[in-house]
Amino acid sequence: MKGEKRKVILKEKKVEIPLAKEELEVVGKQVIRKDGYEKVTGRLKFGADFDKAGFLHGKVLRSPHAHALIKKVDVEKAKALPGVVAILTAEDVPGRNGFGAIIPDQPVICGEKVRFIGDGVALVAAESEEAAIEALKLIDVEYEPLSAVFSPVEAMKPGAPKVHENGNLLTTVRIRKGDTEKGFQEAEVIVEQTYSLPFVEHAYMEPDVAMAIPHEDGTITVKGPMQAPFTVRRNIAPVLHIPISKVQCVQTHLGGGFGGKEDSSIDIGVRAALLAWKTKRPVRMEYEREEVTLSTAKRHPMIIQCKVGAKRDGTLTALEGTIYNEQGAYASLGPIIPPAGGTHAHAVIMLPGPYVIPHVKVDGYLVYTNHPYGGAMRGFGAPQVNFVHESIIDELAEALQMNPYDLRMKNCFELGSVTATGQVLDQSIALKETMRSAADQFEWFKRWRPPPSKEEVEKVEKRRGVGMAIGWYRTSIGTFSDGCGANVYVHEDGSVILHTGITEMGQGSHTVLAQIAAEELGVRIEDVRIVVPDTDIVPEAGPTVGSRSTTLMGNAIIMASQAVKASILEAASEILGVPAERLVARNRLIFDRDDQTRGVEFKEAARRALATGKRMMGQGWWAPPRPSFDVETGQGYPYFVYTYNTQMAEVEVDTKTGHVEVIKVVACFDIGRAINPILVEGQIEGGIMMGLGYAMMEEVLLKEGKVQNLNFQDYMIPTAMDAPEIVPMILEDPNRYGPFGAKGIGEMPNIPTAPAIINAVANAVGVRIRDLPAHSEKVFHAMRGRRG
């Protein structure tokens, strides 16, 4: 049927429409992103591009101490400086002096003590940026330094300096499945190792900015690159001590987010709002790049002990793990949002990997320290634990003298598998197919050889090796509050407005969501306009995180579209004299399913619908099946569906210098359905490069609590010169809950890349890096140690 066309007569007009009903018009197509032309011309305005005229300039005075009591803050000299309009300290906060995505434990302005270098001690608003900067220097703060703690292991010890009143252990999450003692008795080979992962910076290209505008009616508008405008709003209201309904948050296009702007937009948004509220004037704040790196959330560092046992034939018998997850100074997105939300629970749930293991025991500790804080970053705890399970599986394969592919294939999830949390995977699971497809493409069996001996490595200057890793990643966030709404408005000319609170940060959600609306309504993508997410206008959508946008919001949009489409079909039914149930809407046409020569244009039906008083808007609300999870036993159904992925990497290691070049990455994904394949590829390629950075070069360096590499001359991220050949592959095993079968894609690509590369390094030169990043020096020393 594909490609066939039939002529349809529309009131003397002849139009061609595609015949095959099962063929979708907009979904699954390489639709060019809706904001593309605005972006290539420089016309699209990012937050910092809006006119500054009329705004005061806001700045934050930051703590130079990692842990100290604030004895006195003298603002008199600063206040006297010409151009300074306000200096705010803790006592000026009208409401709750705290913010946070989950727990409001981070002071808007610290009053009693500071907990990390970068904590906010005072806020300044001035007529010019220069005056604001000058004023910061004139604020006199007297500190009494306290002993600080910089490691989660140290912070858990009795007598460790207390970062917060209630102690340093923020959350404990466990998994108890079977009996690991028995499992290890059954094992014939056991591998036990410790791995560590560093703080990593999101390095979104656009620094944070916020504009806060107070209004005479007691409301306030805050604009900026917000990844989750509803979370920002939820934080501003209690700080200003006003109802949520009086706070309007308007998103500007994000110049990248990657999880970071879920947190940072709260930080800067709350502070700008407070300054505007107190001065009764519009206030603009923009963080310098160094300030972004110093003070905003990062990927959690973790120290993870892991032990895995298997039979001689490779059958896994048990896994034990202990995660020391460093939260840093504030809770951010670390702790539990019931039942399974938050980075920490996700990390614990993901540690056993996509493997069937009868006996599992995991203890995960989330611990405060006096470092900057960990938050959401692409993968949300999964990149860390994936590095661990994919490294240790390779180490086990080596001990078993097995091909690591075979060991994975023997144990990994398939339809009907039961996870470590007791969840039965009963649909949309093509992990093994991703392995097979990737292996074919990569020619895994032709290229993989056992790791070389020391002598072999020393013989040549450059050695190549291959490595693989597999992974799984949830769609949704595992909270009870994971619902989202959409409104769809159809106008009499057939054009459509879509209200969604899911934000566009480059991933292409506003193209994909418009595609879904267009498909469901039977119009073209260009007919659908998405308004900028504005909390005064769009329904609650939850945050744009957790690879949830396409699936959850897509479903809400389908529901909303169907609701309004009913009116349009009813009007078309009246025009055509055909029952509405028989009508099909496609590509701006509505026609009789049983007699496709009878049809009417979508816009004509829309015009009639309006003229006859029919409902011209549709609302949709969708939440995933209710999650369950017990933090003590780790049992439950935390997330309703998962994306699966296999990545294979080839590297070349310079045996004289330790320099690693990644030559090629093949990555195959089961994502249910690709709504827009070119955007999916973009997510894959970008995620893999970010994963390459995690493997090879990225690390926020800290010395006595202070970030050492604040800008891109020291904090390295991959450049085009680091880019390997990337082969993205998409498999579609439909998700029964998904819009057109879709599952999430945003985060998955960023997850197995690092272990695939590190496994390839081990395969090339026989040394294993267990603490990221594997920069040249580390690989060099590891090789020298081996030669030792």
Q: Fill in the DSSP letter of residue 32.
A: P
User: Residue 10 or residue 716: which is nearer to other proteins going by CB?
Assistant: 716
User: Residue 617 or residue 723: which is nearer to other proteins going by CB?
Assistant: 723
Residue for token pair 């959508």:
541
Does residue number 690 form part of the binding site for other proteins (CB under 8 A)?
yes
Question: Residue 503 in 3-state DSSP?
Answer: coil
Q: Which of 19, 29, 46, 338 binds other proteins (CB under 8 A)?
A: 46
Residues 691-750 within binding reach of other proteins (CB under 8 A): 711-713, 717-721, 723, 726
User: Residue 35 or residue 363: which is nearer to other proteins going by CB?
Assistant: 35
Minimum gap (Å) between residue 503 Cβ and other proteins: 11
Under 8 Å between Cβ of 544 and 505: yes
Q: Which two tokens stand for residue 473?
A: 């990643």
Q: Which two tokens stand for residue 273?
A: 């709002």
Q: Which of 33, 65, 408, 586 binds other proteins (CB under 8 A)?
A: 33
Nearest-angstrom CA–CA distance, 772 and 778: 9
Q: Which of 242, 362, 457, 679 binds other proteins (CB under 8 A)?
A: 679
Region of 70-78, 339-347, 470-478, 686-694 interacting with other proteins (CB under 8 A): 686-694
Residue for token pair 């390459």:
692
Region of 30-38, 323-331, 487-495, 535-543 interacting with other proteins (CB under 8 A): 30-38
Residues 597-616 within binding reach of other proteins (CB under 8 A): none
Q: Which of 124, 131, 187, 203 binds other proteins (CB under 8 A)?
A: 203
Does residue number 52 form part of the binding site for other proteins (CB under 8 A)?
yes
Does residue number 526 form part of the binding site for other proteins (CB under 8 A)?
no
User: Residue 279 or residue 676: which is nearer to other proteins going by CB?
Assistant: 676
Cis peptide before 339, with omega less than 30 degrees from 0? yes
Minimum gap (Å) between residue 50 Cβ and other proteins: 8
Region of 92-100, 202-210, 303-311, 406-414 interacting with other proteins (CB under 8 A): 202-210
Residues of the chain by 3-state class (helix, strand, coil), percent to 5 = 30, 30, 40
Q: Which of 688, 697, 700, 748 binds other proteins (CB under 8 A)?
A: 688
Does residue number 255 form part of the binding site for other proteins (CB under 8 A)?
yes
User: What's the CA dihedral at 23, 25, 30, 32 to 10 degrees?
Assistant: 180
Does residue number 648 form part of the binding site for other proteins (CB under 8 A)?
no
Does residue number 464 form part of the binding site for other proteins (CB under 8 A)?
no
Cis peptide before 773, with omega less than 30 degrees from 0? yes
Minimum gap (Å) between residue 548 Cβ and other proteins: 18
User: Residue 252 or residue 419: which is nearer to other proteins going by CB?
Assistant: 252
Minimum gap (Å) between residue 753 Cβ and other proteins: 10
Residue 500, H or E segment:
strand 496-500
Nearest-angstrom CA–CA distance, 471 and 473: 7
Nearest-angstrom CA–CA distance, 722 and 739: 36
User: Residue 33 or residue 432: which is nearer to other proteins going by CB?
Assistant: 33
Does residue number 35 form part of the binding site for other proteins (CB under 8 A)?
yes
Under 8 Å between Cβ of 344 and 173: yes
* Closest C-alpha among 252, 262, 354, 203 to residue 549: 262
User: Residue 52 or residue 582: which is nearer to other proteins going by CB?
Assistant: 52
Does residue number 40 form part of the binding site for other proteins (CB under 8 A)?
yes
DSSP E strand boundaries for 178-279: 189-197, 209-214, 220-224, 247-251
Region of 27-35, 478-486, 488-496, 623-631 interacting with other proteins (CB under 8 A): 27-35
Q: Which of 179, 406, 414, 685 binds other proteins (CB under 8 A)?
A: 685
Q: What secondary structure does DSSP assign to 663-727, as a single string?
A: EEEEEEEE-S--SSHHHHHHHHHHHHHHHHHHHHT----EETTEES--STTTS----GGG--EEE
Region of 251-259, 458-466, 614-622, 651-659 interacting with other proteins (CB under 8 A): 251-259
* Closest C-alpha among 352, 378, 379, 317 to residue 635: 352
Minimum gap (Å) between residue 700 Cβ and other proteins: 15
Q: How many angstroms separate the Cα of 371 from the Cα of each of 157, 265, 703?
A: 17, 20, 10
Minimum gap (Å) between residue 46 Cβ and other proteins: 6
User: Residue 377 or residue 420: which is nearer to other proteins going by CB?
Assistant: 377
Q: Which of 45, 449, 593, 626 binds other proteins (CB under 8 A)?
A: 45
User: Residue 35 or residue 630: which is nearer to other proteins going by CB?
Assistant: 35
Q: Which two tokens stand for residue 113?
A: 């003590």
Q: Which of 113, 223, 253, 474 binds other proteins (CB under 8 A)?
A: 253
Residue 485, H or E segment:
strand 484-490
Minimum gap (Å) between residue 52 Cβ and other proteins: 8
Minimum gap (Å) between residue 251 Cβ and other proteins: 13
Question: What are all long-range contacts of 452-460, with beta carbons under 8 Å and residues at least 24 apart?
Answer: 452/764, 452/765, 452/766, 453/766, 454/766, 454/786, 454/787, 457/655, 457/765, 457/766, 457/783, 457/786, 458/655, 458/787, 460/655
Neighbour-count burial for 89-117, b at 16+ CB within 10 Å, e otherwise: bbebbeebbbbbbbbbbbbbbbeebbbbb
User: Residue 48 or residue 563: which is nearer to other proteins going by CB?
Assistant: 48
User: Residue 229 or residue 342: which is nearer to other proteins going by CB?
Assistant: 229
User: Residue 150 or residue 380: which is nearer to other proteins going by CB?
Assistant: 380
Minimum gap (Å) between residue 255 Cβ and other proteins: 3
Q: Which of 39, 182, 280, 449 binds other proteins (CB under 8 A)?
A: 39
Q: Fill in the DSSP letter of residue 59.
A: E
Q: Which of 289, 436, 454, 659 binds other proteins (CB under 8 A)?
A: 289
Q: Mark residues 482-511: x for contact with other proteins by CB under 8 A, - for none.
A: -----------------------xxxx---
Q: Which of 1, 3, 41, 159 binds other proteins (CB under 8 A)?
A: 41
Minimum gap (Å) between residue 443 Cβ and other proteins: 21
Region of 39-47, 113-121, 462-470, 584-592 interacting with other proteins (CB under 8 A): 39-47
Minimum gap (Å) between residue 559 Cβ and other proteins: 28
* Closest C-alpha among 230, 283, 237, 280 to residue 99: 237
Does residue number 288 form part of the binding site for other proteins (CB under 8 A)?
yes
Q: Which of 25, 92, 105, 206 binds other proteins (CB under 8 A)?
A: 206
Nearest-angstrom CA–CA distance, 279 and 653: 59
Neighbour-count burial for 19-52, b at 16+ CB within 10 Å, e otherwise: eeeeebbbbbbebebbbeeeeeeeeeebbbeeee
Sign of CA dihedral 771, 776, 778, 779: positive
Does residue number 517 form part of the binding site for other proteins (CB under 8 A)?
no
Q: Which of 19, 48, 190, 616 binds other proteins (CB under 8 A)?
A: 48
Minimum gap (Å) between residue 283 Cβ and other proteins: 18
Nearest-angstrom CA–CA distance, 380 and 325: 12
Q: How many angstroms separate the Cα of 609 from the Cα of each of 494, 569, 601, 786?
A: 11, 9, 12, 77
Q: Which of 5, 7, 9, 32 binds other proteins (CB under 8 A)?
A: 32
User: Residue 536 or residue 725: which is nearer to other proteins going by CB?
Assistant: 725
Under 8 Å between Cβ of 71 and 63: no
Nearest-angstrom CA–CA distance, 568 and 562: 10
Question: 471 - beta bridge partners?
Answer: 645
Number of residues binding to other proteins, judged by CB under 8 A: 55
Q: Fill in the DSSP letter of residue 170.
A: E
Interface residues with other proteins (CB under 8 A) are 32-33, 35-46, 48-49, 52, 202-207, 253-258, 288-289, 505-508, 678-679, 681-682, 685-690, 711-713, 717-721, 723, 726
